[in-house]
Amino acid sequence: MNKFLVFVLCCFFTVAMYAQKYSEHYYQRKAMFENSPDTEGEIIFLGNSITEAGDWSALFPNKNVVNRGISGDVTDGILNRLSEVTSSKPKKIFLLVGTNDLARGKSADDVVENIAVLLREIQEASSDTEIFVQGILPVNPQVGDKFSGHKSNQQLISLVNKRLETLSEEMGVSYIDLHRAFRNSKGELKAKYTYDGLHLSPKGYKRWKRVIKPLVN
């Protein structure tokens, strides 16, 4: 193989690598969202796999609930697709994000600063949207043998949540303390609400529904 061809192939793979910043699943979901028509009075659940796995239409029948969760998503990923979220001028947004950022080595500062940017962009693009910042859920290292990178961040999660509560007050949005609602006496995710120490079981989603039902309604 001649040197020029090697150079061209290297350039191609470098461009492809940077173009594909997120997972294939991310881009598939993003495209699906962008091809879905906007509707009036949407209540959007925005986040990562924990949000994506929720059957929000079944949990809140007769409400115009929209699932905008993408497995593996991070704050940068949500910023990258936020224009689709705000294009419908949604009635409410329930945001839950941050655990994947921390697992990838992002600092508490990074997470809180990105969420602040998210909130500002939502407020600028859709000023009448009611925003609910949900605290990052606790984790439980005693359940399951996967996601050790996530389940070692209990202290960081608590730190981010404290700062998110303050940020929410400063920015005039509502804060929902999901961490308190899901943790045991050790500050870990209650085993009955999870199947792997990170993601929620059906009981976990029912618990989530009970916490936010008055706010959705």
What percent of the chain has a predicted confidence (pLDDT) above 70?
A: 91
Q: How far apart are CA 202 and CA 33, in angstroms?
A: 25
Three-state SS for the chain is CCHHHHHHHHHHHHHHHHHCCCCHHHHHHHHHHHCCCCCCCCEEEEECHHHHCCCHHHHCCCCCEEEEECCCCCHHHHHHCHHHHHCCCCCEEEEECCHHHHHCCCCHHHHHHHHHHHHHHHHHHCCCCEEEEECCCCCCCCCCCCCHHHHCCHHHHHHHHHHHHHHHHHHCCEEECHHHHHECCCCCECHHHECCCCCECHHHHHHHHHHHHHHHC
Give the tens place of pLDDT for each residue, 84-143. Answer: 999 999 999 999 999 999 999 999 999 999 999 999 999 999 999 999 999 999 999 999
pLDDT score at 174: 98
Q: How far apart are CA 92 and CA 215, in angstroms?
A: 9
Q: How far apart are CA 124 and CA 142, in angstroms?
A: 42
Q: Which of 10-24, 54-68, 198-212 has the lowest mean pLDDT?
A: 10-24
Domain residue ranges of the chain, discontinuous segments joined by + = 40-216
Q: What is the mean pLDDT of the chain?
A: 93
pLDDT score at 2: 55
pLDDT score at 20: 66
Flag whether pLDDT at 17 surpasses 60.
Answer: no
What pTM was estimated for this model as a whole? 0.90
pLDDT score at 55: 98
Flag whether pLDDT at 4 surpasses 60.
Answer: no
Flag whether pLDDT at 9 surpasses 50.
Answer: no
Q: Which of 1-10, 23-32, 102-111 has the lowest mean pLDDT?
A: 1-10
CATH architecture, range 40-216: 3-Layer(aba) Sandwich (3.40)
1-17 b/e (C-beta count within 10 Å ≥ 16 → b): eeeeeeeeeeeeeeeee
Q: For 66-89, what is the mean pLDDT?
A: 98
Flag whether pLDDT at 16 surpasses 70.
Answer: no
Give the tens place of pLDDT for each residue, 129-185. Answer: 999 999 999 999 999 999 999 999 999 999 999 999 999 999 999 999 999 999 999
